[in-house]
Structure 1
Amino acid sequence: MDLNMNTFSDIDKILESGQISNELDLERAIIADRKLRVLSKENSKFSEIRKKLRALIYNYENETWSTHSRITESKLRKSDEAEIIANEERIFFLQRKKLIRQKLNYFDLTQQDLGKILGHQNKSYISELINGIRSFTLKDLLIISKLLGIKLNDLIPPFISKSDQDKVLEAIEKMNNPKLNF
């Protein structure tokens, strides 16, 4: 993905690595699984992706939440927090999708028309972008904003990945500057 501001796009990384490594990735994978179920009706390639994702979900849940594993308060709290974050992300992407579709409808444009304007010829790719399976590039979002008159705040997800958050917090900690807060 060109600009990984998003959550659901992390699914490619999960599939590449062959594992889900934390609760937030699990929650994102579960949401992506639901989206892929719908998209697989349009395009069979999504069925294979969904099958792989479901296997990773199953493996993670078996390892982390089986009767053999120790379930602690901390583990439950992290799971609850991950569910809240993933749901907020899901709501953002649903609202963005709805807004883009409303504007496309207003201008008598189809998703495919938008794809052509953005330079994406593949019909399923633009569907993946709009449905939050893949990330729009910053350039795509700027074009959509100008073309359809949508505020960038409504197009750009306000989320920072956990790994990026950790890097920022580590850098701030090393600076030992009490004025900085993240």
Structure 2
Amino acid sequence: MKTHFDIEKIVERGVITNELDYERALIADRKLRLLAKDNIHFKNLRSNLRDIIQKYENSEWNDVDKIDDQKILESDKSERIAELERLFLENRKQIIRKKLKELELTQENLALILGHKSKTYMSELMNGIKPFTLRDLIVINRLLKIEIAVLIPVFLSKEDQTKVQEAVIKLGKPKVKLTSADLVLS
């Protein structure tokens, strides 16, 4: 089970289909800029991602007549969501690094414990380029004694929120509602 957006999935698909993925791709591009200096894999990934970003911008933002207030609101909302996700991932990374340091472990040691052989792959996980698996996060929780809520994003996508709300309405159970914490990324 994956816990968040996967940059490489977007690159594999070769297309960005919505504003939220576009904003996420822009953030990933900034992360990859730093990582690409030392690693050809990240350099190639960034190059491919930039091509996909350019295609999306050309199709969605080049025609001024297609840009209305609704599109701008969607863009602003997506930007806020992507930024909240970025902050979550950055916070998680810093907390994991701090715990590793306290235990005199390296990121490479953690990769070995999790069963990841590549230093690059571990870097992708830590930097949010690739998502940790649920298993990885449970091991980190138990090994490093980090609260699970710090490791696993507990917010729902707009699509998931809508589906859950529609199902609850269909059930006719007015006592059942999503909490405000679930709606952070609405």
TM-score w.r.t. the length of structure 2 is: 0.88
Q: Distance in 2 between matches of 1:161 and 1:5?
A: 12
Match of 2:137 in 1: 141
Match of 1:132 in 2: 128
Match of 1:61 in 2: 57
The one of 154, 157, 161 equivalent to 1:158 is 154
Any conservation in 2 of the 1:35–1:131 contact (CA below 8 Å)?
yes
**1:164 corresponds to which letter in structure 2?**
D
C-alpha offsets along residues 103-125 of structure 1, whole Å, 9 cap, x if unaligned? Answer: 11111111000000111111111
TM-score w.r.t. the length of structure 1 is: 0.90
- Structure 1 gap segments, 5+ residues each: none
Q: Distance in 1 between matches of 2:3 and 2:163?
A: 15
Match of 2:69 in 1: 73
- Other structure's SS at 1:42 match: coil
Q: CA distance change for structure 1 residues 103 and 177 in 2, over 3 Å: closer, same or farther?
A: same
C-alpha offsets along residues 37-66 of structure 1, whole Å, 9 cap, x if unaligned? Answer: 111123211111111111111111111111
Match of 2:3 in 1: 5
- Other structure's SS at 2:27 match: helix
Any conservation in 1 of the 2:8–2:129 contact (CA below 8 Å)?
no
- Structure 2 gap segments, 5+ residues each: 179-186
Q: Give the Å deviation of 1:78.
A: 0.5
Any conservation in 1 of the 2:3–2:134 contact (CA below 8 Å)?
no
1:98 aligns with 2:65: no
Q: Give the Å deviation of 1:18.
A: 1.5
Match of 2:182 in 1: none
Match of 1:47 in 2: 43
**1:146 corresponds to which letter in structure 2?**
R
Any conservation in 1 of the 2:16–2:56 contact (CA below 8 Å)?
yes
Aligned CA-pair RMSD: 1.6
C-alpha offsets along residues 136-182 of structure 1, whole Å, 9 cap, x if unaligned? Answer: 11111111111111111111112334443343344334334333333
The one of 20, 25, 40 equivalent to 2:16 is 20
Q: Distance in 2 between matches of 1:85 and 1:99?
A: 21
Q: Distance in 2 between matches of 1:84 and 1:158?
A: 16
Q: Distance in 2 between matches of 1:44 and 1:59?
A: 23
Aligned residues: 178
Higher RCO (C-alpha 8 Å, min separation 6): 1
Any conservation in 2 of the 1:5–1:159 contact (CA below 8 Å)?
no
Match of 1:35 in 2: 31
